[in-house]
Amino acid sequence: MKQAKFLVIGGAGYIGSHLVKALLAQQQQVIIVDNLSAGKASAILGGELITHDFEDRAFLDQLFKQHHFAGVFHFASQIVVSESVKNPGKYYRANTSATLTLLEALRDHQHIPLVFSSTAAVYGEPLYTPINEQHPTNAVNPYGRSKLMVEQMLADFANAHAQKYIALRYFNAAGADPLARIGEQHEPETHLIPLVLQAITGKRPPLQIFGEDYDTPDGTCIRDYIHVDDLASAHVLAMHHLINGGESGIFNLGNGLGYSVNDVIQTAIAVTGQDVPRSYVARRAGDPARLVADANLAKKVLGWQPKFSDLSIIIEHAWAWEKAQK
């Protein structure tokens, strides 16, 4: 991708900061907009950070008048499923309504490509696995529905205003920068791998495993873990595709490999040489037994190829990051 200026909304967050890192490695100019409600300024390895709420239309108007962006990456969102059930308004406002404001600003100022951070949660309970992009969407919580509504808005703005976009449906983002400069630091933390590693270090209580009676080989849930650097590379390729005249679309991002909760625990034990304090508790409502991606479309159309698909490598990078936080 030739040198240009890009806007990264939510670029101080876990995945956004790794995308910023990838753009900087290509010598791109990067402007990051993040209100730092969840992101960390320390996660930004370069570029210009503007601390502001992106749903402020007057702010966006000024930003788009001041800069000519080759493309926009949009990561900013609320992501805790359980919170979305208890406080749906927060999720529809932050994820759906705020993105509508961004789309209207793009419509009025610059017809530039948008790469949107979506989620496999739009699928809901899987009817089959691995899940491809033709799988019906039936989000079962406000978080998933707030993202699905944005996908529908993107399609409508593409039809009405020729807004080019790609929505990337992530499965389970994991891992960290291989040099341990940046990594996962959510609060509250809900992702399995950091919870496993922080149980080892004593930073968090013993791990609770929700259910051991699923219809899987070891009775625990199976998920598709994708390295955060592989996610970042997919975003760069998606933007390159749009800039070069490619069609708008939706793509799954995952490794196509299913690992159970017990697989993750045993791999973490092998990587760290330490046991994982843990206990088994009742299932959580709405947890599917298996969620595994079919990401062949991204490989075929975008030329994407994950580099860090092995679970032990993902956990090694996450463990190096955890140790660097002490």
Catalytic positions = 143
* Residue 131 backbone phi and psi in degrees, to 5: -90, 120
DSSP secondary structure code for residue 266 in this structure: H
Q: Output the six-digit token pair for 29.
A: 């100019």
CB 316 within 8 A of CB 176: no
CB 291 within 8 A of CB 120: yes
CA distance 44 to 159: 35
Dihedral, 182, 184, 188, 194 alpha carbons, nearest 10: -130
Kindly list the distances between the CA atom of residue 219 and the CA atoms of 142, 258, 310, in Å, as whole numbers in the listed order.
28, 13, 22
CB 45 within 8 A of CB 229: no
